[in-house]
Amino acid sequence: MVRLPAQDPSQAASFLNDDPASAVNLQGNGGLPYRPVSNTQLRRGPYNIRFGPVSALFSAATTVSYVDNALFTEQTLGRADDIVVTPMFNTTLEWPVTDMNSLRIDVGVGYQKHLIQEQLDTLTVSPNSTIDWMVIAGNVRISLFNQTSTPASLSQRPELVTTGSAETAAFRRIQNQIGMSASWILSRDLSLQGGYSYTLERGLTGSKSFDVLDRDSHVASTALYRRLGPVWTVGTSASASTQAFQTDFQNGSTSYSGGLLAAWEPSRYFNVSSHVRYTVTQFDRNGQVADTSNFSGITYDLSLSHRFRRYWEYTLTAGRGANTGFGNNFTEQLFANVALSWNATENATLQLTGGYVNSTESGSALSLPREAFRIGPESFDPSIPGMVDDGLGELYYFPAGAVDLGNGIVSLPLPGRVSDSYTAGLTLSYRFSNKLSGNLSYVYSVRSSDLQLRNFNQNIVTLGLNYQF
């Protein structure tokens, strides 16, 4: 049996919810990367069936949703209703092979059936679907993992536009990440973490509208955590990543990031964490996207969680980052979310949620023939920047930022589009018995943009049941 230090600093910092690999999210999925579990989680978790040394926990869930704008159409255009039925089956298997290593399989798979907009039918995979092989060697914890998920819908990608047809609204993707992470407890208050992951993302549906986003990415990361006392943990992180697309439409990229992180937990009911880093992303010129922008600047994540009194709890999160664009290199985002929970009774919980996202695209470029910039002699003034006499009797005026690509073509930069998204939700959860629980929720979403066809609002009402065998 491995004897761990009295206080594992990597565990003290675990509530940072922060993997250094996530320092730059230019992957466009909005989700969090995989994080290895702590050493203490080698202990057997909840189960309802035993197969010798293997513990199994099975559950099934079904949700029925009414959506009043299933195709995300412009607010002034016609709206298409839909009813969505999503059965899910979840399996958790734990096998403590020895005291030094264990295998955990946690998989949730379902099918999203659209009763009206049948073209949107798709497979769905739970975000925590993971196969994890963990090994402990002395004070080093090694995790080999594979995680599969289906990323966010089109409503969370402001640079994507639907024309009101199922073909353009069928943004269905699947993402698979495989990798290795290691955590080394150097001393009682110091730990080092490092890892590598490879992510493959592909389209799930027969629609070819978004095949240009099929990509492969590699991320290497490291972080050093230091526990300063019973309530403070600080650290530093660094990461590097590359991204390549399967087609020649989007530009690939290389990113580097480094920064500081801190966590404060004065009690078990209150904690604050932050991760601030400087990020630089250089984009290739190997695609058809004419955007020449690169990203650099401060990116950050902030989180606060507080349980006050006995039955109330709230969580606040905020951040700034950049995601992969569509027709442009990246989309910079500022976000803030709040959640307030009330345990009304022993079996009932009421939760209020709200969110805001400001998205600014990096822009694109318009290719025009050189002749479009020709001017007459009466308008020519050589003292004005951009006025050009080619010496062959032709006069031109090129606006600021225009680039002569040769072959009679000039690239003119276009400003990035800006959009604001708001969400508000209410969820009532109730446990009928130890095995059966249910929930009823309502979510309202609205997005405003400076580009036509990107403005929409949407109402979703969902009834869900979950049964644990």
- Can you read off the two tokens belonging to residue 219? 């991320």
405 pLDDT more than 80: no
Residue 438: beta bridge partners?
430, 465
Give pLDDT, residue 288.
Answer: 80
31 pLDDT more than 80: no
Q: d(Cα 424, Cα 301) in Å, to the nearest integer?
A: 21
Q: Give the number of residues written for the chain.
A: 469
| Most confident stretch, 203-217, 321-335, 336-350 | 336-350
Helices (H) and strands (E) in the chain, counts: 2, 25
Residue 33 DSSP class: P
pLDDT band at 27 (very low <50, low <70, confident <90, very high): very low
Instruction: Count CA atoms closer than 13 A to 250's CA, side-chain side.
Output: 24
Give pLDDT, residue 37.
Answer: 38
pLDDT band at 45 (very low <50, low <70, confident <90, very high): low
Give pLDDT, residue 6.
Answer: 31
Average pLDDT along the chain? 83
Out of 45-49, 80-84, 309-313, 375-379, which region has the weakest mean confidence (pLDDT)? 45-49
Name the pTM for this structure: 0.80
Q: d(Cα 121, Cα 64) in Å, to the nearest integer?
A: 14
Give pLDDT, residue 18.
Answer: 32
In our burial notation (b when 16+ CB lie closer than 10 A, e otherwise), range 241-267 reads bebebeeeebbbbbbbbbbebbbebee
Out of 29-38, 105-114, 357-366, which region has the weakest mean confidence (pLDDT)? 29-38
- Can you read off the two tokens belonging to residue 26? 């230019």
Residue 169 DSSP class: H
Question: pLDDT above 70 covers what percent of the chain?
Answer: 83
Question: pLDDT above 90 covers what percent of the chain?
Answer: 50
CA separation (Å) from 370 to 386, 396, 414? 13, 8, 17
CA separation (Å) from 100 to 328, 353, 392, 456? 48, 41, 79, 53
Q: What is the mean pLDDT of residues 40-57?
A: 74
Q: Which domains does the chain have, with CATH numbers?
A: 9-363+415-468 (2.40.160), 369-412 (no CATH)
Give pLDDT, residue 443.
Answer: 96
Give pLDDT, residue 171.
Answer: 78
Report pLDDT digits (tens) over 164-184.
667 667 778 889 999 999 999
More confident call, 228 vs 23: 228
Give pLDDT, residue 283.
Answer: 93
Report pLDDT digits (tens) over 412-466.
767 778 889 999 999 999 999 999 999 999 999 998 887 766 788 899 999 999 9
Classify the C-alpha dihedral 426-66-445-151 as positive or negative.
positive
Give pLDDT, residue 236.
Answer: 94
Give pLDDT, residue 2.
Answer: 28
Residue 376: beta bridge partners?
none
More confident call, 2 vs 456: 456
